[in-house]
Amino acid sequence: MVDDCKRLVERYLSELEGAFQVYDTEGGCVIVTPFMRRDNDMIEIGVEPMPDGRLLLTDYGETLAFLNLTGVNVSRSLDAKRVVAQTAKRFGVEIAEDDISVYATQNELGPALKGMIDAVNDISHLVYKRQRRPPLSFDDKVEKVLISNAFGYEPNFPVQGRTELHRFRFYVNGRFHALVEPVSATSAASAHAKAERLAFRWLDIGGTGSEFRKLAILDDEGPRGTLWRGRPIEVLSGYADGVVLWSQIEQLPSYVARERMI
């Protein structure tokens, strides 16, 4: 039985290894982990080189911004502050200016990444201080729009690119051939990184000349409204067949229904 348990652990670790994704950014890279935050977004960790040779690992402030958007203001709650401070101490990370971060040498990278993932996951549970269930994710909201407009779709649709296999959140099938990708962010840095990453995925599956229509749906609700201005929306517009803001989601059916000549 011990051997069976060992094989189980080995297979799990192998599964985890293939589930991580890494993307270049202007200042370093972003690690997309296979672990989810309470709003069903994947936990993402930015990595930036420091002048002293160490690396900075950061969540770009996404975790506390997510909590704030759901009504949990850590800066105004003594109980939440206490939980965050305890979590930071337990996992060896720092909380400064709403960022969860840690500095690490090359030899410390493994424990530092694990500590960041554990801290983000733990702190995001504070959402239950305000509500009994996680908020509806942005993906769910977009999916409801597709359903209400009677579009047939396949979730998590795989497309083989030149360098790797990519999965897109929704493929609207039939004659439309549309890849519909919801994108949400809680910081300008994250919006920029996610825009670059989606553009790369589109480019890798064949650029704008491929058989698929490429549509990005951007979450611009409330304080997220300014995050996509400038470079993020410029990057996406350069490769997309359509970029739709959530505040103008009524336009989505017309973008999806525009047949593409294949």
pLDDT digits (tens, 9 = 90+) for 148-173: 887 888 888 888 888 888 889 999 88
Cα–Cα–Cα angle for 13, 139, 143, nearest 5°? 125
Res. 208: pLDDT tops 60: no
Res. 262: pLDDT tops 50: no
pLDDT band at 223 (very low <50, low <70, confident <90, very high): confident
Place of tokens 């770009």: 60
What is the distance between the alpha carbons of residues 195 and 209, in angstroms, rounded to a whole number?
19
Res. 134: pLDDT tops 70: no
pLDDT digits (tens, 9 = 90+) for 4-50: 788 888 888 888 877 888 888 877 899 989 888 877 778 999 999 99
Measured in degrees and rounded to the nearest 5, phi and psi for residue 99 equal: -90, 140
What is the distance between the alpha carbons of residues 46 and 80, in angstroms, rounded to a whole number?
24
Single-letter amino acid code for the residue at 228: W
pLDDT band at 100 (very low <50, low <70, confident <90, very high): very high
* The pLDDT of residue 258: 67
CATH 1.20.1600.10 matches 138-257: no
- Arithmetic mean of pLDDT, 131-153: 78
